[in-house]
Amino acid sequence: MKRRLLFPCLPLVSLMFFQISQAFGQIPPVAKIDNVEDEYWGVKVEDPYRYMENLDAPEVQAWIKGQADYAASILDTLPGREQLRERLHELYSGKPYSSGGYRMLENGKLFFLKRISGESLLKLYLRDGQGEDKLLVDPSLLSTSEGDHYSIADYTPSPDGNYLVYGLAKSGSEETVYHILDVSTGKALPETIDRIETAYNRPFWLPDDSGFFYSRRQLLAADAPETEIYKKTKVYFHQLNTDANSDQVIAGYELSDKMELSDVDFPSIYLAPNSDYAVVKIKHGDSNELTLYTAPVNTLLKSDIPWAKICDVEDEVTDYAVHLDDIYLQSAHKSPRFKIISTSLKNPDIATAEVIVPESKSVISTLASSFAALFVEVTDAGTDKLLQINYSAPDKVETIQIEDKALNLVGISPATNKILVRTSSWVQGPSVFSYDPTSRAYEKTDLIPPGKYDSSDDYVAEEVMAKSWDGTLVPLSILHKKGIKLNGKNPTLLEGYGSYGMVYNSFYSPGIIAWLEQGGVWAWAHIRGGGEYGKDWHMAGRMLNKPNTWKDFIACGEYLVEHGYTSSKMLAGQGGSAGGITIGRSITDRPDLFKAAIINVGLSDAIRMETTTNGIPNIQEFGTVKDEDGFKGLLAMSAYHHVKDGVEYPAVLITHGINDPRVTPWNSAKMTARLQAATSSNNPILFRVDYKAGHGIGSTLDQYIDQLADEYSFLLWQFGVDPTK
């Protein structure tokens, strides 16, 4: 369909778009239509851009490059874009350094990731006592002249800290390769291990430092279907200074009659310090419910490991922690807001497991063990609390209080007493405290030092409830400058996710502060499909119930308009990854509600997802076309299939990293082509492509800031706001 351009009545913003395009002598390349029609369960589904799924085809690559160049020619010239980018750099450099990924050892050594102000990549450090932090791994040394970079995907030190296994991945690809470092000498061991699976696990060492266990994907032929990549993952043991190709297989598909796995299950192994037992976790695709097995550590290298099942899917266990020979399980079984139960690893029996923390109004989000106590994080619609349970008195549950702030666990080990906790707030920068559960004493550390932009009385966070289409009240967090006028004229960005039962609690972001400085309102919609109210909240936004996710998001947008925070001419929505469903279906259902939208690495064509690398694991969350109800749910949530010709769609910025292994970039290509062909408005549809990025994981800070500057300047341009004034 030809795009209808009504130049005589163009609004100012659209006229600016046309003029900027003309100044560069460019228009976006037009995608050819080559329709494919499929029939599922008696329903015919058209796909005019199926050919784009072949990302290696020269014509597809040329079209994507043309779109990327066109988007860059617009975004790079937007008013205030450079000023926004510079301000974002200032805000993210406000601290001397930032850190995370803490690994605590019994001997007092602390390994962690740190990024010094002015740097773009996290580096791996060791802190031993009161000495200076020692740099161990610097991935920036591997950056190439072609712009490729490497990032640290994960790491685990050996029990005494003499060795370190760490993974590196190139340019956001998540194609991780393990390297091993002798910490005392700083020299790498000769062996490396590729095809590493880091999404659900990390390596764990034997107590004597002789080697470690890890999960590895199968070796496939070059022409194997991409849907085979995440199948038949196995757990291996690697002995130091040996060839990884001869590593012993410990657990996997069709390996032991004592352990049941399908070919799409992800097994991984966990060894807790001071425990005689190992735990194998089996992740069933992206389902939250786990199957767990245990066996004595001293049997793991034998030919016939005596695996004993701890729990299965029907027990609804989603997390666990180990202390000595006991295991603590987070379960939703008959407790949708979760409970904590305990059983012995020597003779596991979940049927007689002791209830340690019963279900309550608050939702249990995670648990972890130190040597002195068990810790449980709970949340109530996005507000975190941290509970302490002493092993000797499990019936006594204490709430940890530090400066009356929300707390998150960030550093804990079954081998140490002390833990590390981080404060959490929407409008104040975080701090990390060391907490001693035996004395209840806490001390602020220098792991996250104060920054000059950490605290301001200029901003406020509100927690409100928006009424959705069916009367359900949806939590909505709103951030803005104090004293704003509720006159409907504030540029507003509404974000949301709503999948996998994930909970988004308060967090401080310099990027959000940059938006608020522009007089903007920023809001997060805690929509169904997430886990803010436990498993029921998740199930209410899953598969056939998925429409609740975007209807909740729409309701939150309507709340912001009805209460004067903004208007439909000043409201933008944003979602990424599975949140692409949220924003994609919101603008296809209610294009009139939004002036602009941003779709980051978004799942736009849900019907075709299971043909991709990451599709089969996601059947657990979204469904399959091989089942009639599954197909109905997927069709309903597939934004690409709900774009209609002749509709006035808002301005849309679609972004993707070309190396994305989670959501294949053709999702964004097809969505861009369909919107550009269908819209009857003159609002721009831009496709921003980063050829040195993936799903966002492993991107550099510079990449993140460049994208954020593009997004903010795009939105302010559409709102008619000049950020230079």
Q: What is the pLDDT of residues 103-124, one digit of tens each?
A: 999 999 999 999 999 999 999 9
Give the whole-angstrom CA distance, residue 29 versus residue 31.
Answer: 6
Contact of 453 with 443, CB cutoff 8 Å: no
CB atoms within 10 A of CB 191: 17
Q: Shortest CA distance to 77 belongs to which of 29, 31, 145, 20?
A: 20
User: What's residue 24's pLDDT?
Assistant: 43
Residue corresponding to tokens 């694991």: 617
User: What's residue 380's pLDDT?
Assistant: 76
pLDDT-derived band at 367, boundaries 50, 70, 90: very high
* Residue 690, pLDDT above cutoff 60: yes
Mean pLDDT of 199-213: 94
Contact of 708 with 509, CB cutoff 8 Å: no
First-to-last CA distance in the chain?
Answer: 40
DSSP 3-state assignment of 124? Answer: strand
Which range has the worst mean pLDDT, 32-36, 130-134, 564-568? 130-134
User: What's residue 200's pLDDT?
Assistant: 78
Domain ranges of the chain: 26-90+454-719
Model confidence pLDDT, tens digit, residues 702-716: 999 999 999 999 999
Q: Shortest CA distance to 147 belongs to which of 716, 724, 706?
A: 706
Model confidence pLDDT, tens digit, residues 622-663: 999 999 999 999 999 999 999 999 999 999 999 999 999 999
Can you give the three-state secondary structure of 137-175, one letter per residue?
ECHHHHCCCCCCCEEEEEEEECCCCCEEEEEEEECCCCC
CA angle 530/531/537 to nearest 5° reads: 80
Mean pLDDT of 396-411: 92
* Residue 15, pLDDT above cutoff 80: no
Q: Shortest CA distance to 488 belongs to which of 553, 557, 559, 570?
A: 570
Mean pLDDT of 518-546: 98
Q: Shortest CA distance to 349 belongs to which of 323, 310, 301, 407?
A: 310
Which segments within 197-347 are labelled E, that is strand?
A: 204-205, 211-216, 234-239, 248-251, 265-271, 277-284, 290-296, 308-311, 317-323, 326-331, 339-344
Is the Cα torsion angle 487, 521, 469, 633 positive or negative in sign?
A: positive
DSSP lists the bridge partners of residue 686 as 653
CB atoms within 10 A of CB 186: 11
* Residue 581, pLDDT above cutoff 80: yes
Which range has the worst mean pLDDT, 29-33, 446-450, 454-458? 454-458
* 26-90+454-719: CATH architecture: 3-Layer(aba) Sandwich (3.40)
In terms of DSSP H, where are the helices of 563-692? 579-589, 619-622, 628-637, 666-678
Q: Shortest CA distance to 158 belongs to which of 214, 107, 216, 204?
A: 204
- The structure's pTM equals 0.95
DSSP 3-state assignment of 493? Answer: strand
Q: Shortest CA distance to 442 belongs to which of 408, 419, 409?
A: 419
Q: Which residues of 370-379 are buried (b: 16+ CB within 10 A; e: fewer)?
A: bbbbbbbbbb
